[in-house]
Structure 1
Amino acid sequence: MSVRISRQHWLALLDELESARRSRSLLTYRSVIERLGLPQPAMVTLTTALEYLAALDRREGRPLRSALVVSQSGTRIPREGFFDCALRLGALEGSPQVTDAVSWHAAEVTRVFEHRYPDHHQE
């Protein structure tokens, strides 16, 4: 199954992530889906878009903005697929234990907060 995100939703996703970065806050998957009004299958569309963005960020040597989207469970870390994607992209090495994943994620979020990303409205 091929999943696509509209340009309007893509730009809105980048805006949400930039706003979260500037305010040094995290977003939940659910809140992003609701704010963007993603059509069904919304979670599949969002995770596909976040993985694509992670690949773009990794290719450009930037921290992974997709780290700002987390589960609303008590862990406040992304779902397992995020870590699988980070492993595939070479951003995360080995097979991290939960505590290692939590600390790696916290460090990546800090890096995202401190990084200045290009303005996607000028591309």
Structure 2
Amino acid sequence: MSVRISRQHWNNLLTELDVARRQRHLVTYRALLERLQLPSPAMQTLTAALEYLAALDVKAEQPLRSSLVISQGASRLPRTGFFECVERLGRFSGPVDGTAAASWHASEVARVFDYAYPEPGRQAAH
């Protein structure tokens, strides 16, 4: 299934992640869904957009902004699909749950917090 995101929603996603980065905060999938008001299927659209953003960040050799989005659960980590995506992109390898994933995620978040990204909206939506 092909999922598309409007340019407005894409720009809003980049802005939300930029605000979280500058405030050095993580944001849950649920909070992003509520703020972005994506049309149905909202979670699939958000997932596809975050995976696309991860691919853009890899291509640009930047830390992965999508690492700022986490589950509400006790783990405070992204969903397993995030780790599967970044493994496909060559940024992570190992079990998608457990200490290796948690350690990699913590270091990636620190890299995101310290990185100066181009202004939101300067990258094309898909």
Q: Identify the TM-score tier after normalising by the shorter chain.
A: over 0.9
Percent identity between matched residues is 60
The more displaced of 87-96 and 7-16 is 87-96
3-state DSSP of counterpart to 1:90: coil
Query: Who is 2:56 aligned against?
Result: 56
Q: 1:46-84 CA distances to partner (integer Å, 9 max, x unpaired)?
A: 000000000000011000000000000011100000000
Per the alignment, do residues 64 and 40 of structure 1 end up closer, same or farther by CA in structure 2, a change over 3 Å counting? same
With the length of structure 1 as denominator, give the TM-score of the two structures: 0.96
2-side partners of 1:77 and 1:96: how far apart?
Answer: 10
The amino acid of 2:113's aligned partner reads F
Larger RCO, structures 1/2 (Cα 8 Å, 6+ apart): 2
Moved over 2 A (4+): 93-97, 120-123
Please list every run of 5 or more consecutive structure 2 residues that lacks an aligned counterpart in the other structure.
none
Query: Who is 1:92 aligned against?
Result: 92
Per the alignment, do residues 95 and 18 of structure 1 end up closer, same or farther by CA in structure 2, a change over 3 Å counting? same
Superposition CA RMSD, Å: 1.2
With the length of structure 2 as denominator, give the TM-score of the two structures: 0.93
